[in-house]
Chain A
């Protein structure tokens, strides 16, 4: 077999991108080689069973809830006509703008003794009802699901509109009820997209730290931090993250397999599906159904934050706020665009490399999403230092640290972390474009790169926009990487909100959180319009 031929330039492209993206991960895992750690026994006997139990419960719970929230609303919005449908179709994305830990604080605040509900009961109605304690695993599941369901919602809605539109209409003419159509046709056809959405949820949950810590739920992530910082055993922390990553990798492969078996391809963009008109009570019920997740995931926590902000607004808002907004906005936007460019190049190279192995290999690039932010930050730091100290210095280009502590390193970190978020929609977008289009374009004498621009990218537009949106919002909320890697005196909205919350000054963090939400709000509206416009 001719090796040179197999390693065509596109395969090399894949190799290069994956190498650059996964370098920090490998650097962390070089720590795996070494003596077995002294506290590992302690962890496996006293802590690990609980980590596994809690993490499993948390994942299962959020998967079920996000599926219920996400699919039901996406289906209603896609297939029925009811009051406020148009507004709800983009409003339902909004919970994504709330950082999970902020939602956790808000919910705890809402239902605690001094919160607005029980204060009102006590002071105005003279009913002392104590408080409702949400700080437990069920509370964590509810809070996390209520802000993460839009991942499922977005994926499901896009798929309902595009993939199953025509099939659904065909089924309609056969006279079966919408309900049975949904179960027999729409759901099976949209399953790959929905599972892709759910896997984003799962990875976010596995990564979740702030909320579970506050709610006293011990999971793998809290375990990693405990091993690393409290037990001072970085080795054990790496073992734990290796376990976690193995699980995530298995998940990725499983998702791949279920998608691979059934290739649903629509050759052309379908017309959107004709909506059922609902009447009377059903109409109201549909509106209510869609309002519920919006209420739980957005209106309630935001109301609590507004309530807090009324006390603290004047105290917290000062003149450097404009700069915070600019910082957050440009970082998020820059990172989102880079993520998309890298994702497109990666997916396209995989397709052109004509190699199954490079496809599997490319999956390594999404691993960054599964590593706890703080651990990844260290990997990035070590990579940046390596480049500064070994490469740049030996070439005599610079002295001191250029990359380390620069925005460049921070952007690099974002790309490593959030590539998966952009990669998934773009990958499934590419899957919907038959590859024969590129092949035909090449036989017409157009180079692969130009084919990308004139054929694939225009067809990918909806996927590109939703990838941009998702990464943008994620970076906007991102915390550990920004905290550790940012340059001196550089603050974003998220770091500002966090430092108040971290000092148990949650009410003070409310105004900043509200601005994060508002800042993420604008692109969501704009991008959502874009997504809806493109056929």
Chain B
């Protein structure tokens, strides 16, 4: 290839890049659309959006990135933001977006009916769509479940060298500690974090799935994980992973007290949403019975709509008592929790 040809190609690329964006902006005005900034990104979600488009004629445009990045983007875009909706996989991020004034309150009969009040922000700034618990799993051959009781009990020396858990950079651990801050105060939370640190089988690392694998490999006996990761293992396309899942048993902690720590995937309407009506329609659709069935099952989560039942797998783990703490509290305590992790040296 000659150098001059390179230049021509570059010019063409640039030209097509610019014309591409022009088309997009024209589309926006002509079509009925709703623009979704999403942290969730499962292939099956797309099927749902397609169904939504078929029934309402509203096209769902998506930008997928991490919630933190999307929030920053919305903040920067300000009034010009094309975002109608923000979808995250934890309440802490929604709370943060709310705190920054990026969301607007929505009052919808349908939503109030579909979603129990503890799963939504009191003024309607955001709505939980699915929830899951962060629980204890254990090796069924090595651990006597009667030894397990509460999150707090995990600091007991009897678990020395047996606990597996991921690093504190994970929002799931941050939310768990935030709920402990809410329950036991900052000092109690710090004691808990250093107590668990002392009992860890190894330095925090890897993912929730990795913790369970390492238990089967014999490195530890119990792990703190989200419910759906066990669901993912049991339904893995890798038969070896299924075997690992089958070796695990679920224990819901604090059943005689505040209940197991839960968190939600949730959604809120952007403050400057250009397509507010369409945005509300999409949330209503996603919280409706039909969508809930799919939306929750994709990722082995619990549907928030009380008319829906959890999947057979989740039901097989038994009913459990969930922490009643309003999820907005998780967001409020998040920063505090991170600093506690840092102070005790939980990587």
Q: Do chains A and B touch in the complex (CB under 8 A)?
A: yes
Chain B: minimal CB distance from A165 (Å):
25
B64 touching A483, Cβ below 8 Å: yes
Closest to A226 in B: B169
State how many residues of chain B have any CB contact under 8 Å with chain A: 72
Contacts of A341 in B (CB 8 A): 7, 10
Mask of B6-19 contacts with A, CB within 8 angstroms, 1/0: 11011001101110
Chain B residues 18 to 43 lying within 8 A of chain A, measured CB to CB, are 18, 20-21, 24-25, 35, 41-43
Cβ 8 A contact of A464, one of B3, B17, B96, B213? B3
User: Is the C-beta of A405 less than 8 angstroms from some C-beta in chain B?
Assistant: yes
Residues of B within 8 A of A255 (CB): none
The complex places the Cα of A280 from the Cα of B67 at a distance, in Å, of: 59
B79 — nearest CB in chain A belongs to which residue?
Answer: A389
Let me know if A402 and B25 touch, CB within 8 A: yes
Interface contact B240-A504, CB-CB below 8 Å: no
Task: Flag whether A343 is at the interface (Cβ < 8 A).
Answer: no
Task: State the CA gap A405–B63 with chains docked (Å).
Answer: 10
Interface: A248 (CB within 8 A): no
Interface members, chain B 174-227 (any A CB < 8 Å): 174, 202-210, 213-214, 216-219
What are the residues of chain B within 8 A of A138 when measuring CB–CB?
none
| Interface contact A407-B20, CB-CB below 8 Å | yes
CB of A214 within 8 A of CB of B76, answer: no
B-contacting residues, A351-405, CB 8 Å: 374, 377-378, 381-382, 385, 388-389, 400-402, 404-405
Which residue of A216, A232, A401 has the most chain B CB atoms within 10 A of its CB atom? Answer: A216
Say if the beta carbon of A229 comes within 8 Å of chain B.
yes
B334 at the interface (CB under 8 A from A): yes
A135 in contact (CB, < 8 A): yes
Cα–Cα distance between A453 and B343 once the two chains are bound (Å): 60
Task: Say whether A216 contacts B167, CB under 8 Å.
Answer: yes
Q: Shortest distance in angstroms between B127's beta carbon and chain A's nearest beta carbon? A: 22
CB nearest to B61 among chain A residues: A488
Hey, which chain B residues are within 8 Å of A503, CB to CB?
41-42
**A133 contacts B by Cβ under 8 Å:** yes
B21: contacting residue among A216, A461, A487, CB under 8 A:
A487
* Chain B stretch 136-185: residues in CB contact (< 8 A) with chain A: 166-167, 169, 171, 174
> Is the Cβ of B206 less than 8 Å from the Cβ of A231?
no
A488 contacts across to B, CB distance below 8 A: 24, 35, 61-63, 82
Tell me the bound Cα distance from A42 to B62 in angstroms: 37
Interface centre among A108, A222, A484 (most CB of B within 10 A): A484
User: Given the known A-B contacts A315-B237, A484-B73, are A216 and B13 also in contact in the complex, defined by CB atoms under 8 Å?
Assistant: no
Interfacial chain B residues near A502, Cβ < 8 Å: 41, 66
Q: Is the interface of B mostly helix, strand, loop or mixed?
A: helix
For A508, what are the chain B residues with a Cβ–Cβ distance below 8 Å?
237
- Shortest CB-to-CB span from A384 to chain B, Å, is 9
Closest A residue to B9 by beta carbon equals A337
Bitwise, A12-45 to B at CB < 8 A (1) or not (0) is 0000000000000000000000000001001100
Given A112-B217, A311-B238, the answer on whether A406 and B41 have CB atoms closer than 8 Å is no
Q: Is the interface of A mostly helix, strand, loop or mixed?
A: helix
Identity of the chain B residue whose Cβ is nearest the Cβ of A229 in the assembled complex: B68
**Complex contacts, A411 vs chain B, CB 8 Å:** 14, 17
Q: In the complex, what residues of A have CB within 8 A of residue B10's CB? A: 334, 337-338, 341
Q: Which residues of A contact B218 (CB under 8 A)?
A: 128, 130
Task: Name A314's closest neighbour in chain B (CB-CB).
Answer: B237
| A108 and B35 alpha carbons, distance in the complex (Å) | 37
With a CB–CB cut-off of 8 A, which chain B residues contact A135? 205-206, 210
Chain A residues near B208 (CB-CB < 8 A): 504
A213-B169, A499-B64 given; A218·B347 CB < 8 A: yes
Known interface pairs A133-B214, A408-B17; 6 further A-B residue pairs with C-beta atoms within 8 A, sorted by A's residue number: A42-B339, A43-B342, A112-B217, A337-B6, A461-B3, A507-B237
User: Chain B residues in contact with chain A, CB under 8 A?
Assistant: 3, 6-7, 9-10, 13-14, 16-18, 20-21, 24-25, 35, 41-43, 61-66, 68-70, 72-73, 76-78, 80, 82, 96, 166-167, 169, 171, 174, 202-210, 213-214, 216-219, 229, 232, 236-238, 240-241, 243-244, 334-335, 338-339, 342-343, 345, 347
Can you give 17 contacting A-B residue pairs, CB < 8 Å? A39-B339, A46-B343, A113-B217, A114-B213, A131-B214, A135-B205, A214-B206, A316-B43, A340-B6, A341-B10, A406-B21, A406-B24, A407-B20, A411-B14, A484-B70, A488-B61, A488-B63
